[in-house]
């Protein structure tokens, strides 16, 4: 038998690996070398066929916008290469706002006249007019009426 100090460590490990079914140890260069680094790879997505769906998004200014995947437009013009931008539509509620302001002024005027009137017949007439103005104001001063009467125009 040979003394332990004279046996090399590699020989002991090689012998142990053969006897216990453990694979042999790699040499020092292979053990230090790391595996190939994993990298993401860009795989371009195929163009999908337009589906006719709407979706919310943001335009280049960060404003909310509704987009539409129009199958007919895609058939007419599959890819825009002329640099033309999509159409931009703008809603305007100024007319409705003016109507509401007019009704509020009319209501205020009727209330003032009602407070100073002394004739009973005239008071009843003013109360009927005031009730009519308040019904009209209640009908028009809401979001549903504004949406229904919004003027939509194409911005060039």
Contact 103, 137 (CB under 8 A): yes
Confidence (pTM): 0.45
Contact 136, 104 (CB under 8 A): no
Contact 151, 91 (CB under 8 A): yes
Q: What is the pLDDT of residue 23?
A: 56
- Band of pLDDT at residue 18, cut at 50, 70 and 90: low
End-to-end CA distance of the chain: 99
Q: In angstroms, rounded to a whole number, what is the distance separating the alpha carbons of residues 39 and 42?
A: 10
Q: What is the pLDDT of residue 85?
A: 65
Q: What is the pLDDT of residue 131?
A: 96
Q: What is the pLDDT of residue 126?
A: 94
Q: What is the pLDDT of residue 139?
A: 94
Report pLDDT digits (tens) over 85-101: 677 888 889 999 999 99
Q: What is the pLDDT of residue 37?
A: 64
Q: In angstroms, rounded to a whole number, what is the distance separating the alpha carbons of residues 156 and 89?
A: 9
* Mean pLDDT, rounded, for 9-19: 56
For the chain, the residue count is: 156
Contact 84, 73 (CB under 8 A): no
Report pLDDT digits (tens) over 110-138: 999 999 988 999 999 999 999 999 999 99
Report pLDDT digits (tens) over 50-82: 677 777 888 888 888 887 777 776 555 555 544
Q: What is the pLDDT of residue 42?
A: 81
């Amino acid at each position: 038998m040979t003394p332990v100090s004279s046996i090399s460590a590699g020989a002991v490990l090689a012998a142990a690996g053969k006897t216990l079914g453990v694979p042999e140890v790699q040499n020092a260069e292979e053990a230090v070398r790391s595996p190939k680094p994993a990298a993401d790879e860009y795989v371009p997505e195929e163009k999908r066929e337009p589906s006719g769906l709407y979706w919310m998004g943001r335009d280049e200014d960060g404003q909310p916008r509704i987009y539409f995947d129009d199958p007919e437009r895609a058939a007419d013009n599959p890819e825009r290469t002329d640099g033309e931008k999509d159409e931009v539509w703008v809603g305007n509620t100024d007319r409705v706002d003016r109507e509401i302001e007019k009704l509020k002024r009319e209501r205020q005027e009727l209330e003032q006249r009602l407070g100073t009137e002394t004739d009973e017949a005239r008071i009843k007439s003013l109360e009927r007019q005031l009730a009519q103005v308040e019904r009209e104001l209640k009908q028009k001063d809401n979001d549903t009426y504004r949406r229904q009467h919004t003027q939509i125009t194409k911005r060039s």
